[in-house]
Amino acid sequence: MYKVVGTGRDRSLRVTWTLEELGVPYELVFARPMSDEAKAHNPTGKVPVLIDGDRTFTDSVAIMTFLADKHGALTFAPGTHDRLVMDGHMHFLLEEMDSVLWTAAKHKFVNPEDRRVADVKPVLEWEYDRALARLEGRLQGPYLMGDTLTIADILAVHCLNWGFSAKFSKPSPVLLDYSKRMRARPSYDRALPPADPPA
C-alpha cells in the first residue's frame, strides 16, 4: 500500500486527494514539513513524500502524474494533444500560482528572518490576480479539460485554497463556483484529515 508523508493539508493533500479520486488505498504518515519524521523520509525535510514499496519519491506534481498514469484515470495518454494541454495547465499552475503563493510564504514565515523582504506581498498580489484571470480563461466547461476531471483540477483547487488561506484576493464567481464544486466531491472530504494532531 502507498504511504504519503505530510500533514494531509500541505501539498500532500494534492496526493491524497488524487488517491481518493482514483479509489486507491494509502496510509497518511503524519509529518510536519522540516520535522525529524519528514527528514527521515526526505533529507530536505520537504513534504509530500510518496513511499511505494522500498522507494521514496518527492514532488507533488510528479507524484500526481505518476499515480494518474499508473492507475489510468484523471489524465490522458502521453503523446496525445489532450495530454499536452493538461500538462500545460499543470505548468501554468506551478509557475503562476504555486510559485507566487510559495514566495509569499517564504517571505512571511519559511525563510530565516534576515532573508525575508517585508514588502513583497503587493507585487505577489498583483501577479496572483493576473493568474486568477488566466486560470478562469483556461476553464473549458466544468473542468479545465472540459467534461473530464483531471489532476490539473486537483492542483488548481489546492492552489485556490492556499490563496484563500494566505489572504490573497477572492476569486471571481466563476472560480468560486468551480472550487466549491471540486471541494464538494466526497473524495475531498475523505482526503482531508479531521484536524492536525497537537504540535
Interface residue list for ligand GSH (CB under 6 A): 10-11, 33-34, 46-48, 59-61, 110
User: Least distance (Å) from ligand GSH to the CB of residue 59?
Assistant: 5
Query: Smallest gap, in angstroms, from Cβ of residue 60 to ligand GSH?
Result: 4
Return the C-alpha cell found at 144.
Answer: 479545465
- Around Cβ 26, how many Cβ atoms within 10 Å? 20
Residue 148 or 155: which CB sits closer to ligand GSH?
Answer: 155
Of the two residues 105 and 123, which places its CB atom closer to ligand GSH in the complex? 105
55-58 β-sheet, strand order: 26-30, 2-6, 49-52, 55-58
Q: How far is the CB of 47 from ligand GSH (least distance, A)?
A: 5
To ligand GSH, the closest distance from the beta carbon of 179 in angstroms equals 18
User: Which of 103/148 has CB closer to ligand GSH?
Assistant: 103
